[in-house]
């Protein structure tokens, strides 16, 4: 017990240290009225999920210790008071989600559940294996998971390659009943190269998701995609048609773009679109209400001459179920073609403020707005 308390105190101290020099928040360009600050230091921060008590759970990708974190706000002042390590030693525990008191964590081939996580997180909680039968391919094997309005867990399985014709289970979004994990996955979308961010339209319950376009087809090709599932079973083109209208030079022969669902919105090429969320709160200006905020992680292999894309937050305006505008929201993570930060996910807190995960700087930020 003493060791647990001591560990918690040390982590709390580290969590509230002033931002290090490598976090250059003063370089960020925000609209008038917006402010941003470091909420907690989390190495390789990826998907975030909010517990009933305000605890923020954070997955990681590329963390050498394979850790999952919990950030607690003990007095409800929207300041991080403590950072605890939920578990360690996983492969790529990028995706996680909280539901009904339990925390679900997706590794490459295994889905874990930490029961009653609020009561156990400071006492080495034990993981229950829901399934360990997911594919073990590490290329696009990290995940983003979330429960849908139907109560099912949505589990994407990315293509195990850059561009190829994979087996049926890959390049798709599936659902799973976590109470009957032995049942097979149910596919709800195909032709999805790699989605690591999705959310449901609060007006229609339709699923919208980001999808990263293929590499090695040029600096400006293909665009990343923002897609919408209107009918279960839709095919979004990969690997035959990219960005809704570009025929793949190797696999697209004889394929017609009209046979596949086009993007709801083309995003910037190689933007690295990751986490996204419909903003439902009341703190931000009205233009954000029920519209999509996307964390764009940033390109990694565009030439310097072409410049880099992504490395920002963007806003997609949705009207009558259609994307009508795509625009930058927060920029400045990229300076002189070098990234000091790379946003990976966004999470709305109960007061309407927004958390932003950054796996390059190793931090979670809190953004607020005041008129």
What pLDDT is attached to residue 6? 36
305: left (phi over 0), alpha (psi -120 to 50) or beta: alpha
- CA dist 107 and 93 (Å) reads 5
- Assign 3-state DSSP to the chain and report helix, strand, coil percentages, each to 5: 5, 40, 55
User: pTM higher than 0.85 for the full model?
Assistant: yes
Q: CA 201 to CA 188: how far, in whole Å? A: 16
Superfamily of domain 2-369: TolB, C-terminal domain (2.120.10.30)
64-86: pLDDT as tens digits: 999 999 999 999 999 999 999 99
For residue 102, pLDDT over 50 is answered with: yes
How many angstroms separate the CA atoms of 110 and 290, rounded? 33
Q: What is the mean pLDDT of residues 162-166?
A: 97
pLDDT of residue 10: 39
Residues 159, 162, 167, CA angle at the centre, nearest 5°? Answer: 35
> Mean pLDDT score of the chain, rounded to an integer?
92
For 198-238, the pLDDT digits (tens) are 999 999 999 999 999 999 898 889 999 999 999 999 999 99
Confidence of residue 341 (pLDDT cuts 50, 70, 90): very high
What are the two backbone dihedrals, phi and then psi, of residue 36, each rounded to the nearest 5 degrees? -140, 145
| Confidence band of 22 (pLDDT split at 50, 70, 90) | confident
Q: What angle do CA 63, 189, 327 make, to 5 degrees?
A: 65
């Amino acid at each position: 017990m003493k060791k647990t308390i001591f560990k918690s105190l040390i982590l709390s101290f580290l969590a509230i240290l002033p931002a290090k020099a490598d976090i250059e928040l003063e370089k960020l360009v925000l609209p008038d009225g917006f402010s941003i600050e470091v909420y907690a230091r989390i190495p390789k921060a990826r998907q975030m999920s909010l517990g009933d008590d305000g605890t923020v759970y954070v997955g990681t990708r590329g963390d050498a210790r394979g850790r999952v974190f919990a950030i607690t706000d003990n007095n409800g002042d929207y300041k991080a008071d403590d950072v605890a390590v939920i578990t360690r030693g996983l492969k790529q525990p990028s995706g996680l989600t909280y539901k009904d008191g339990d925390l679900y964590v997706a590794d490459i081939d295994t889905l874990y559940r930490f029961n009653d996580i609020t009561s156990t997180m400071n006492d080495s909680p034990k993981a229950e294996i829901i399934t360990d039968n997911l594919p073990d391919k590490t290329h696009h094997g990290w995940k983003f998971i979330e429960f849908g309005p139907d109560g099912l867990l949505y589990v994407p399985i990315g293509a195990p390659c850059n561009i190829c014709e994979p087996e049926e289970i890959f390049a798709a979004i599936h659902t799973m009943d976590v109470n009957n994990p032995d049942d097979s996955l149910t596919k709800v979308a195909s032709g999805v190269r790699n989605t690591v961010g999705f959310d449901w339209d609060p007006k229609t319950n339709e699923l919208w998701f980001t999808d990263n376009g293929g590499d090695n087809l040029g600096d400006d090709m293909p665009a990343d995609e923002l897609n919408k599932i209107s009918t279960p079973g839709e095919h979004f083109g990969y690997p035959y048609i990219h960005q809704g209208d570009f025929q793949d030079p190797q696999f697209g022969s004889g394929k017609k773009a009209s046979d596949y669902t086009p993007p709801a919105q083309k995003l910037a090429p190689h933007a690295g679109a990751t986490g996204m969320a419909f903003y439902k709160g009341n703190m931000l200006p009205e233009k954000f209400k029920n519209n999509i905020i996307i964390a764009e992680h940033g390109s990694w292999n565009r030439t310097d001459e072409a410049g880099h894309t992504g490395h920002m937050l963007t806003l997609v305006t949705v009207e009558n179920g259609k994307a009508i505008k795509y625009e930058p929201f927060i920029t400045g993570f990229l300076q002189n073609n070098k990234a000091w930060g790379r946003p990976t996910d966004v999470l709305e807190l109960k007061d309407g403020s927004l958390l932003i995960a950054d796996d390059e700087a190793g931090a979670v930020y809190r953004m607020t707005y005041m008129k």
